A and B are shown apart, each in its own frame.
Chain A
Amino acid sequence: MSFLRCENLSKSYGQKVVLNELNLELESGKIYGLIGRNGAGKTTMLSIMSNQNPTSSGMVTLDGDNIWENRKALDRICFSRELNITAESGLAAYTVKRYLGAAALYLPHWDKEMAAHLMQSFQLDPKAKLGKLSKGMLSMVTIIVAMASKAEFTFLDEPVAGLDVVAREQFYKLLLDEYTETGRTFVISTHIIEEAADVMEEVIILNKGKIILKENTQDLIDRACYVTGLAEQVDQAVSGLECHHPESLGRSKGVTVLLKSGEHIGSGFDVTVQPLNLQKIFVALCGEEAQ
């Protein structure tokens, strides 16, 4: 088993702190979901974890070795970035085929056949220029790079952005096919949380430059609940428990509770206890200031 670790990772751009003393350990052989609000630092973190961006302090290690300019470690990591086609980048004039050919040069385990097969199943024209592709089609290109890289640790940044629902489903199936066959490690950032929740074994929540939670997705869903009722009854039922995002309306109150092992909602109170999905848990943990 291999471990990819972020150790006290910090990153600032001028005065702006993007990552703040962040610690994270990824164990090989899992599909991780990375979720966080816009500007939380997801892309910065993934780019640092793949040596595409230097840290301000701290480091990233793979099995104990610093990955910075470490060819041996980097051969095992692929970060397929979101493609932003601007005039300056010069990418607009690249055809899909030429772009994938360029990617192959940097990726030592490149699977040419898989790339060709995926281009066909996504119905991408190899001769199409990147500048002419829709947002969804550009996402398909990044998915092909990630999958055909065959890298042991593969990061995908917003792979389903702009994809229609059929193509998104196609992506999740493709991911599971590849994962069950190879056991590669995937980190997938997404804003479409509910759809991806069932596919990720562990969820990583990044908020304001820090990892606030990393846990088995099903375990997290199992220990989360929403408690509602008359405010005083709710307060007594959840007394001493980890509560988030309380909402009040008149005499009623609702609160998100994360139970620790052995804890439970106080019994004998007239309250309703409901399960929560991952998206709602996320909002409760990260949506505090948006009220």
Chain B
Amino acid sequence: MQQKLTEDKSIYLQISQMIETDILRGILLEEERVPSTNELAKLYTINPATAAKGVNILVDEGILYKKRGIGMFVANGAVEKIRIRRKNAFYQMRLTELLTEARSLGISKDELIAQIMREEL
């Protein structure tokens, strides 16, 4: 959790994405405790309710789970879940952005597909 907050996205989304990235990078391991909302609030100088909102997104996704009275932990299988979640987000967000830009440039669907086919993945 060392990244800096930026201005172009909701703070709570940034918090949830930072935790996700830490899980993907093996900085936070499955079944390990993550920082509390109060710890996150103080670290990033944000309201604890905002930090909690970011953490709760991951609880709803089943990436974190609560142990009553102890704290928040990384769930088993979290790494795989994050991959799937980010893949969906990629299709929903980035692809829409790409298509909007293509539309204003007058790029046709065929032209776009042809361009993608030329790229290596």
Contacts and interface: CB of A to CB of B under 8 A. Distances in A.
B71 to A, nearest CB: 14
Interface in B14-67: 38, 41-42, 44-50, 53
Nearest to B103: A270
A169 interface: yes
Contact of A176 (B9, B48, B104): B48
A222 B10 contact: yes
Given A200-B47, A218-B50, A180 B42 contact: yes
A177 B45 CA distance: 10
B8 to A, nearest CB: 6
How many residues of A sit at the interface, in one of the four size bands? 20 to 34
A282 interface: no
B12 A218 contact: yes
- The A contact surface, by secondary structure, is helix
Nearest to B36: A180
Contact of B42 (A177, A275, A277): A177
Contacts of B41: 176, 180
B45 A218 contact: no
Interface in A53-104: none
Contacts of A30: 49
B81 to A, nearest CB: 24
Nearest to A195: B45
Contacts of B120: none
Given A200-B47, A201-B50, A173 B8 contact: no
B84 interface: no
Interface residues of B, number: 20
- The B contact surface, by secondary structure, is helix
Contacts of A200: 47
B89 interface: no
A261 to B, nearest CB: 16
A173 B45 contact: yes
A172 B103 contact: no
A25 interface: no
Given A218-B10, A222-B10, A172 B48 contact: no
Quick one: which of A172, A176, A177, A270 has the most chain B CB within 10 A? A176
A236 to B, nearest CB: 15
Nearest to B96: A267
A167 to B, nearest CB: 14
Interface in A192-225: 194, 198-201, 216-218, 221-222
17 contacts: A31-B47, A172-B45, A173-B45, A176-B42, A176-B45, A176-B47, A179-B48, A198-B11, A198-B47, A198-B50, A201-B50, A217-B47, A218-B11, A218-B50, A270-B104, A275-B8, A277-B7
> 4 closest A-B pairs (Cβ-Cβ)?
A198-B46, A180-B38, A201-B47, A201-B49
Interface of A: 30-31, 169, 172-173, 176-177, 179-180, 194, 198-201, 216-218, 221-222, 270, 275, 277
Given A270-B104, A275-B8, A275-B9, 6 more contacts: A172-B45, A176-B45, A177-B42, A218-B12, A218-B50, A218-B53
